[in-house]
């Protein structure tokens, strides 16, 4: 590493530039001289104009600086507003979580209702399966002394409703 640096320094001193694998003579670059700013003399009117512009810049800088300052009541108002907004956000999140919990509870209760309805249907089916019409007729005839209705006791009525009939008066005894 040190050898490379020495070679570079030697090449600079000899004004050589290494480009690829070919060594060429380089043109000697002119020495740079720092440029000094040229000061021109200003007339008194130009000097007054420059002073006036500088004064305007200072005034506008102070105005901009004052524009960003805040009074104590304004800071208190902003602090109260931020605290209120934060409290409202927290309350919103609490209410949102409560709503989610209630929705989950409702879903669980609906599942419970569906399970109970299915259980109720199965029990109803089992009860109806145990009903033996022949056994009921036998008990009614033998133990309770009931008899089957004969043809003259049966009266038929024409009804527009096929499933339900309301009785508004006594059945005639013809």
| pLDDT tens digits, one per residue of 9-33 | 655 555 555 555 555 566 666 777 7
Q: Which of 155, 153, 152, 135 is nearest to 143 (CA)?
A: 135
Specify whether the CB–CB gap between 52 and 59 falls below 8 A.
Answer: no
Specify whether the CB–CB gap between 9 and 20 falls below 8 A.
Answer: no
d(CA 167, CA 144): 27
**pTM reported for the whole predicted model:** 0.37
Phi, psi of 91 (to 5 degrees): -65, -40
Burial 8-40, CB ≥16 within 10 A → b, else e: eeeeeeeeeeeeeeeeeeeeeeeeeeeeeeeee
| pLDDT tens digits, one per residue of 65-111 | 666 677 888 889 999 999 999 999 999 999 999 999 999 999 999 99
């Amino acid at each position: 590493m040190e050898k490379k640096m020495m070679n570079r320094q030697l090449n600079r001193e000899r004004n050589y530039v290494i480009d690829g694998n070919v060594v060429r003579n380089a043109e000697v670059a002119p020495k740079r001289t720092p440029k000094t700013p040229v000061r021109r003399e200003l007339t008194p009117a130009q000097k007054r104009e420059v002073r006036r512009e500088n004064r305007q810049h200072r005034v506008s800088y102070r105005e901009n600086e004052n524009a960003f300052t805040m009074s104590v009541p304004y800071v208190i108002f902003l602090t109260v507003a931020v605290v209120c907004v934060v409290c409202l956000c927290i309350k919103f999140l609490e209410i949102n979580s409560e709503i989610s919990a209630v929705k989950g509870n409702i879903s669980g209760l609906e599942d419970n209702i569906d399970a109970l309805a299915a259980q109720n249907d199965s029990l109803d089916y089992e009860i109806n399966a145990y009903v033996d019409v022949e056994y009921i007729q036998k008990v009614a005839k033998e133990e309770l002394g009931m008899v089957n209705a004969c043809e003259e006791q049966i009266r038929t009525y024409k009804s527009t409703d096929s499933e339900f009939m309301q009785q508004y008066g006594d059945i005639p005894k013809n």
